[in-house]
């Protein structure tokens, strides 16, 4: 089961969302074609993606919605909640902390950090912004599972190093720099300017 492409995982997330919609509509069974249609892919792709993890469907019938939802939650590790540390109480950090989608999908912000004395001590969405100096202490006490790095680019790497030293194995990085970590740590970088630049390229080359 090791070594599944990231693109496959992203599609599984997408299928899960669609299945939850189907579930809400009381639909009991769904075919690979139906899942593909609204997910922007093909039925063969859906079947291949699922087949990496088992055979969940019935030939001639399709996939039982409820069961498949449960399986996908298990595969994606979404049958539990995660405690997230937000590093950086700037614009992006602020937006993310308040973003309901995170909590809805099982991710709870357990602590917020910043360097700015003007921000430290302020209450934010029920949490107090803490001094980044207390990172080690608080991350341990709060049993943090993941970190979101929303800092200026120059401190992203040193912060990541401290997180890695603390044993954090998953980092979502919004700083516009590449972060280097050991092999057993996963970093996903979301670079907003980069996304706009791919659009700029597409606009230019038509």
Partner DNA sequence: GTTTGTGAAACGATTCACAGCT
Partner DNA sequence: AGCTGTGAATCGTTTCACAAAC
Binding mask 95-114 for its own copies (x = CB under 8 A): xx-xx-xx-xxxx-------
Q: What's 53's DSSP letter? A: T
Instruction: Choose from DNA, its own copies, none: what does 57 bind? Cβ within 5-8 Å by kind.
Output: DNA
- The whole-angstrom separation of Cα 5 and Cα 7 is 5
8 or 189: CB nearest DNA: 8
Interface residues with DNA (CB under 7 A)? 5-8, 31-33, 41-45, 47-48, 50-51, 55-63
32 or 94: CB nearest its own copies: 94
- The whole-angstrom separation of Cα 130 and Cα 101 is 23
CB of 108 to its own copies, least distance (A): 11
Contact call for residues 146 and 84 (beta carbons, < 8 A)? yes
SS3 state of residue 96: helix
Q: Pick the binder of its own copies from 66, 127, 146, 155 (CB under 8 A).
A: 146
Instruction: Choose from DNA, its own copies, none: what does 92 bind? Cβ within 5-8 Å by kind.
Output: its own copies
34 or 190: CB nearest its own copies: 190
Contact call for residues 171 and 149 (beta carbons, < 8 A)? yes
Q: Pick the binder of its own copies from 118, 123, 165, 202 (CB under 8 A).
A: 202
Q: Which residues of 63-75 are buried (b: 16+ CB within 10 A; e: fewer)?
A: bbbeebbebbbeb
Q: Does 83 bind its own copies (CB under 8 A)?
A: no
Contact call for residues 167 and 146 (beta carbons, < 8 A)? no
- Tell the burial category of 114 from Cβ atoms under 10 Å away from its Cβ (0-12, 13-18, 19+): buried
Instruction: Choose from its own copies, DNA, none: what does 2 bind? Cβ within 5-8 Å by kind.
Output: its own copies
Transcribe 74-92 into DSSP letters: HHHT-SS-EEEEEE--SHH
9 or 66: CB nearest its own copies: 9
> Rule CB under 8 A: which residues touch its own copies?
1-2, 6, 9-10, 12-14, 17, 38-40, 75-78, 82, 84, 91-92, 94-96, 98-99, 101-102, 104-107, 145-146, 169-172, 176, 178, 180, 184, 186, 188, 190-206
């Amino acid at each position: 089961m090791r070594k599944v492409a990231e693109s496959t995982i992203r599609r599984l997330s997408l299928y899960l969302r669609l299945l939850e919609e189907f579930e809400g509509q009381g639909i009991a069974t769904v075919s690979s074609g139906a899942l593909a249609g609204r997910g922007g892919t093909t039925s063969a792709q859906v079947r291949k993606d699922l087949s990496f993890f088992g055979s969940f469907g019935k030939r001639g019938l399709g996939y039982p919605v409820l069961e498949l939802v449960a399986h996908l939650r298990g595969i994606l590790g979404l049958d539990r909640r995660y405690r997230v540390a937000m590093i950086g109480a700037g614009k992006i950090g602020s937006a993310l902390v308040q973003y309901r989608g995170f909590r809805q999908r099982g991710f709870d912000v357990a602590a917020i950090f910043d360097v700015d004395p003007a921000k430290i001590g302020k209450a934010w969405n029920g949490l107090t912004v803490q001094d980044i100096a207390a990172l080690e202490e608080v991350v341990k006490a709060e049993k943090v599972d993941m970190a979101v790095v929303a800092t200026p680019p120059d401190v992203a790497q040193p912060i990541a190093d401290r997180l890695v030293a603390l044993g954090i194995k998953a980092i979502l990085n919004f700083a516009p720099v590449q972060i280097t970590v050991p092999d057993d740590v996963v970093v996903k970088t979301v670079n907003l300017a980069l996304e706009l630049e791919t659009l700029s390229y597409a606009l230019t080359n038509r």
